[in-house]
Amino acid sequence: MRRFLTYLFFLCSVLPAGAGSKLEVMDTRGDMLGWEAVGRIDLAGQGFCTGVLIASDQVLTAAHCLFDQKTAQPLPADQIVFRSGYLKGSALSERRGTKLVVADGFVPGGSTMDIENVKRDVAILRLEQPIFGSEADPFRIAEGGGDGSVQVMSYGRGRAEAMSWQRRCELTREGRDLKFFDCDITFGSSGAPVFVKTGSRVRIFSLVSGTARLKDGTTIGVGMDLPNVVSDLRAKLRNGDAPTAKVSTGARRIKIGGGKSGSGAKFVRAN
């Protein structure tokens, strides 16, 4: 059976997590207006994470999503499909990947207690063809913080066929380029954009990487600071400085279906 990585930080100083607003299922196309750039990233139709467009041909997601966690090899880019605005079997647009770049220093299959690895759990998947603005308008990276509240759009275990929106959850702590938030995340939510509102605009504040366990046993979401790492990844794409994804041998895929409870916000797992 496949083992899931779980990032656990036993934090004694994190503020208590709040309840946040309830999840809203975006089960009609009308519900998804303005959020079309968020989509499901499918791995050969057998598993998924969440991702978001940051350019017409660039999808931002968690780095660990793009690796086979048994072999620690990158998944073949052309077997990764981004489905923007995915809803009940159809998407507003679908594009295969052509290349992936991962933050420097990220170690696939690395220590589950490695804070530095979580800070680098960021990747960009380049698409073989751009998604036009008329189909989905990419989001920008936030350069600063907000008022302490964030929102998350994600797919996940038990909500794989429609995107879920949590309008409000709280940023409980920031430090060492990490973000902690009390949002409702689960398997499959990895790579989901954590948004912040700056003025009248919504920007990407962080990505879901995993969860942290507080001293009272409750869990909160963990993400990372994005501006510098995303800038570096884009430079790699521009300069042709990143290796293309290699095909791994003996790779095992996960299946969309039943899940297993746990404290990580990772892939959906097969029964």
**DSSP output for 197-256:** EETTEEEEEEE--EEEEETTS-EEEEEE--HHHHHHHHHHHHHT-SPPPPPPTT-----S
Residue entry with tokens 């086979």: 68
Which residue, among 17, 20, 62, 19, has the nearest Cα to 213 in the 3D structure?
17
Average pLDDT, the chain: 81
Q: Which residue has the higher pLDDT, 252 or 260?
A: 260
pLDDT at 7 over 50: no
Q: In the predicted model, is pLDDT for residue 29 greater than 70?
A: yes
- The span from the first CA to the last CA of the chain, in angstroms, equals 10
* 202 vs 211, residue with greater confidence: 202
pLDDT mean over 6-27: 55
Side-chain half-sphere exposure of 126, counting CA atoms within 13 A? 17
Mean pLDDT of 42-61: 91
Residues 227, 17: contact at Cβ < 8 Å?
no
pTM of the model: 0.82
Please tell me the class of the 10-239 domain.
Answer: mainly beta
22 C-beta neighbours (distance < 10 Å), count: 11
pLDDT the model gives residue 114: 79
Average pLDDT over residues 79-92: 96
On whether the CB atoms of residues 208 and 50 are closer than 8 A, the answer is yes
DSSP 8-state secondary structure symbol assigned to residue 116: H
Asked if pLDDT for residue 236 goes beyond 50, the answer is: yes
Cα 139 to Cα 56, 229, 263: the distances in Å are 10, 16, 28
Segment 134-153 mean pLDDT = 88
pLDDT in the model for residue 65: 93
**Residue 177 backbone zone (phi > 0: left; psi -120 to 50: alpha; other: beta):** left
Would you list the domain boundaries of the chain?
Answer: 10-239
pLDDT tier at 113, thresholds 50, 70, 90: low
8 confidence band (pLDDT: 50, 70, 90): very low
- CA 165/CA 122 separation, integer angstroms: 22
